[in-house]
Structures are given as structure tokens and as C-alpha cells.
Structure 1
Amino acid sequence: MPVVLSLNIASKTTEVDYAQKGATAIDKRPVDGPLEVRPPGPKKGAGSGIQGDVIADWNHHGGDYQAVYGYAREDLDFWQGELGVELHNGQFGENLTTQGIDHTHALIGERWRVGTALLEVSAARVPCRTFAGFLGQRGWVKRFTQVARPGAYFRVIEAGLIAPGDEITVVHRPEHDVTVEVFFRAITTEAELLPRLLAAGDSVPPEVVELVHKRTVIELDS
């Protein structure tokens, strides 16, 4: 049965020289919980959807469509073998480290009941130089992108409480075929896939919808 292995937050930012803002909160650490999960509001200033979780770069992280970040322990174990280093729960900056559920092939708009909260898959995580600097891995952004196990962002449909050990139940799967992997490849390496994302409707972040429309206009004008 799918479960939350750990609930991870950063209670403060850390000053570093590899982050665009000069500080990061990527180093999430497991906590006992339960913690409240709620919609934080629009991006750029809203912060995390997890009670007590800190965000350093509000321009690129947080907000309703990136309220919660989840990553599978199975994918962490894959990278642990690839990199030859131990990876603790939360080391990829995820709020939820899960076991027994696939993030990569989850559908945008898919809804998971986690604890008493209802979460909706809304986006894929896109790697950045802060992620690479934190892990200390050269060429990490390219490598992470090529493998395409990005983990999933969620928006909060119903606020609630989440704790380690909570069961995860998929309560809704939309009829389209836009998976987290398709979303990730469209945003990173296969721009021709971008129009497909619109099939996921309101579950797609507004800035991504805007990107699709801009690309369409450019193609029509070229």
C-alpha cells in the first residue's frame, strides 16, 4: 500500500554561493508531524503549502501549483545506486518521500488522498543550479534531465493534516494522457510536446499555459 515514508521541511534558509538568491531551503529534513497542508496562494510570495516549511526563492518555488513536492523513495534508491552516495529522505528537496506509488507516470490532474488532505498532481520538478550545487554533482542538471525521474508537484485541493506513515490513495485519474514525464520533457527538452499539456486543463500552472500560447504565436509568425 502506498505510504508517506517521511514528511520533510526546511525550518530556515541557508546562505550558499551556488544559489541565485544567495540562500536556499532545499535541505529538507524529516519531521514527526502531523503538519497542516493548505493552499499557500498565488506564486511569487506565497511560499510553501506545508506548515513550517521555508522557501528561499519565491520567484521560482512555492505558490498554489507548487505547494507540495513529492519524490519516490524508489527513485531516490535509483539515484543512490547511480551516484554511489547515500541519499536521505528529503535530500532532493521533497516535502513528501513516498513508497509504493509512481510519480513519473502520474497524470497531471490526478488526485491523491494523503492523510486528511487532498492533493492534485500539477507539475514536474525542473532541476536548477541550486539543486546541482547542493548535491555537489557536476553535470547534474543534464543528467537529471536525461533520466527524467523528476518527482511531482502538487496543489492542495482540500487542506488537511499529513504525517509520516499516512496512506496514499489515488481517488481520481483524468482521461487525458499527460503524465508528469510528458510535462517534464515538454518543459525541458521536447518543446514540441508543449501543446499536449493543455489537455490537462486547469490542472496546468498558468505560467505554463502562457508559455504554450507564446510558443504557438511564435510558430504562427515564423
Structure 2
Amino acid sequence: MKVLTVNVGRAKTVEYTDTPDGTTGIDKQPAEGAVMVTDPGPKGRGGSGLAGDTICDLRHHGGTHQAVYAFAREDLDFWERELGHPIPNGAFGENLTTIGLDVNNAKIGERWRIGDSLVLEVTSGRIPCRTFGSWLGEKGWVRRFTRHAAPGAYLRVVEPGEIRAGDPVEIVHTPGHTVTVGLAFRAGTTERALLPEILAAGDALHPELLATARTYVEKYGA
């Protein structure tokens, strides 16, 4: 299990995003050398956890519980076959392109040590947005990506540190529950009846999804 590339994006102006200044940082490119990763601060104010990576839409992206986004090379390869064209590392807007790591079956609250000092904790799956679909140029992309339910993982920074391409990934903590990234994603999107089940992940779950699950239980019961 390792990081193939560490990817960062610069703001660029496009026609298809609804940010106030019309910019997006979704086009991530592999970085050379080490990249520092720290907690960026609360959502709405903090952006990416990676130095040099730009988050343009702070309403929906970035912040403590979405500090880092990881996507597996194996899943990019799946979409290469499905879409019929090459998909380079970083093209899905991921900060970390991994290999050998089952990102979508990682448990919420699972912790990864990457390199010498960085420790990240899994919080949720990525919810696709209109900018993602427009960037790829695929009609109906948001629905198609959602149905596949292999969203990649958002992570928060537990211990800051530098990372670089080729760094090994070690799972240093696995929670006792069964709530995976994929399960939490389906609960929050296409299978709302699963929302009570994901409460087992507790406070490790992304706060917005946790609040949604609690509201569902209050209204409909467990």
C-alpha cells in the first residue's frame, strides 16, 4: 500500500462552476518533492490540508473533515475502461492517488500513517458535484458516479507531516464497527434507510453526515 502521487491544484477560471469568482482547483497535478499536510481549519474558512493546493469553493470543499481526498488508482483504472480514455492521477480532483489500498472499504475512523509522521483519519466519501461532471465532460456523470458508490475517501489530519510520491501507507488503527466509506456514502445519497446504521461510527463520521443521520433517526426511528 502506497501513495503513487501527491496531487495539488491551482485556481483556474472556467465557465461551469458557480463559485463567486468562477474559479476551480479541481485540476490536480502530481507535485514534485515533499508536500506538507496540516489541519486547514473549519469548513467555510479552511481550504485544503496540502500546502500549495487551492480550494476555490469553501462552501462545499475543504476544512478539517475534508482536508485530504484519496482515490485509488485501481478505481481510476475502472473508469478508464468505462469511459474509454486515459485518466491520469489527480484527474478526479484527488490529493492522494493510492495503490494497493482498499479506499472505499476503509472504515470511518480508520487511521493511516503515510511516510514518517503524517497520520490521517477517514471521515466520509466524496459527494460528486456539477463542477466534477463538467470538468470531465461526461453527461450524467454525477448520477453515474453516485450509482457506482466508490467515491474515494475524505480524511482529516490527526498528526501533520510531509508526504511525497512513493510513501508507504500503513493502517495504524481500525475501528470495531462496520461502517465503511462506501456504506456511509450510500446512506447519505441513494439508500437513506442505511442512515441509522452509520451512527455506529460516532464522532469519527463527517459532522454534516452525522447530523443528517441523527435527524433521520429522530424523525423515522432506528
TM-score range, shorter chain: over 0.9
1:124 positional shift: 0.1
Corresponding residue number in structure 1 for 2:151: 150
Unpaired runs of 5+ residues, structure 2, are none
With 208-217 and 24-33 compared, the bigger mean Cα shift is at 208-217
Is 1:217 matched with 2:194? no
- Contact 2:203–2:210 (CA under 8 A) maintained in structure 1: no
Count residues in correspondence: 218
Deviation track 1:61-81 (CA, whole Å, cap 9, x = no partner) reads 001110000000010001001
**Paired residue secondary structure (2:171):** strand
Match of 1:16 among 11, 14, 17: 14
Counterpart-to-counterpart distance in 2, 1:180 and 1:207: 15
Is 1:48 matched with 2:48? yes
Query: 1:123 corresponds to which letter in structure 2?
Result: S
Within-5 A mapping of 1:59-78: 59-78=59-78
Counterpart-to-counterpart distance in 2, 1:188 and 1:52: 31
Corresponding residue number in structure 2 for 1:131: 132
Unpaired runs of 5+ residues, structure 1, are none
Counterpart-to-counterpart distance in 1, 2:194 and 2:132: 25
Counterpart-to-counterpart distance in 2, 1:187 and 1:74: 24
1:219 positional shift: 2.8
- Contact 1:72–1:97 (CA under 8 A) maintained in structure 2: yes
1:213 positional shift: 2.3
Within-5 A mapping of 1:1-222: 2-10=1-9, 12-21=10-19, 22-115=22-115, 116-219=117-220
**Paired residue secondary structure (1:58):** coil
Normalised by the size of structure 1, how large is the TM-score? 0.95
Normalised by the size of structure 2, how large is the TM-score? 0.95
CA RMSD of aligned residues (A): 1.0
- Contact 1:7–1:33 (CA under 8 A) maintained in structure 2: no
**Paired residue secondary structure (2:147):** helix
- Contact 1:28–1:94 (CA under 8 A) maintained in structure 2: yes
- Contact 1:3–1:99 (CA under 8 A) maintained in structure 2: yes
Counterpart-to-counterpart distance in 1, 2:49 and 2:33: 14
Deviation track 1:14-68 (CA, whole Å, cap 9, x = no partner) reads 1222112122110000011311111111111111101111001001000111000
Counterpart-to-counterpart distance in 1, 2:203 and 2:4: 29
Deviation track 1:114-170 (CA, whole Å, cap 9, x = no partner) reads 112001111100111100000000011111111111100110100011100100011
1:214 positional shift: 2.2
Report the identity percentage: 52
**Paired residue secondary structure (1:104):** helix
- Contact 1:92–1:131 (CA under 8 A) maintained in structure 2: yes
Aligned structure 1 segments of 4 or more residues deviating by more than 6 angstroms? none
**Paired residue secondary structure (1:113):** strand
- Contact 1:4–1:166 (CA under 8 A) maintained in structure 2: yes
